[in-house]
Amino acid sequence: MERISLPLTLRLSLLLLLLGQGSAVQAVNVYKYVDEDGVVSFSSERPHGRSYQDLGPSCAMAYMGCERAGWDWSKAPLNMDDYREPIQRAAERHGVDPALVRAVVHAESSFNRLAVSRAGAQGLMQLMPQTQRSYNVADPFDVEANLNGGTQLLSELLKRYNNDISLAAAAYNAGPTAVARYNGIPPFKETRNYVERVNLLYTRYRASLSASR
């Protein structure tokens, strides 16, 4: 029988949630791995010397299905420093506002260059294998390559939708076919949440970048 081990931080979060203190649950990166005794464990610290599954940045109950979309993204801490120069280079190369690139990176991977989604998307801008091939991204975990491929895709989507950020974000998440099928933002909860998230983050990053100049 599979055994599951939970670290103290996650056990405390579960207790708080059960006691009606869900607001105390904090954002963490959650890593799932199997130890030497075959125990399935979840940790907020990246395991060393063993294979693991990165469940990505989420609340402490991520492995139980907690949705990042439920957070108040208007108050989420911004990351103004990580990958500043690579993001700027990719943005300039493809004519995209660096604030938007940073917003998409934040929404997609929370700046974790090793992030892997359950669907198989990889890296900072969560590129699917087909997208990687289309944009010649040999290593999706290479910062420059991932940012270049993702920003090129974002640039093409912005041109396709006349710089409508909401439609471009929807297509980045669900694909242009879905946007065409529904003649706008698809009625998928995940996609609608994603579009809202990107717009909120973009507005905040743009303001922060403007203030720092």
* Two tokens, residue 213: 């100049």
* Two tokens, residue 35: 């130890």
Q: Which residues contact 208 (CB under 8 A, 6 or more apart)?
A: 78, 80, 99
- On whether the CB atoms of residues 37 and 161 are closer than 8 A, the answer is no
The reply to whether 108 belongs to the active site is yes
- Give, for 75, the enclosing helix (H) or strand (E): none
Catalytic residue among 2, 85, 108, 196: 108
> How far, CA to CA in Å, does 53 sit from each of 41, 160, 212?
10, 35, 37
Q: How far is CA 85 from the centre of its chain?
A: 19
β-strands 39-43, 3-5: how paired? parallel
Closest CA to 60 of 122, 15, 19, 113: 15
> Counting beta carbons within 10 angstroms of the beta carbon of residue 192, is it exposed (0 to 12), middle (13 to 18) or buried (19 or more)?
middle
Closest CA to 100 of 199, 213, 208, 185: 199
**Active site (catalytic) residues:** 108
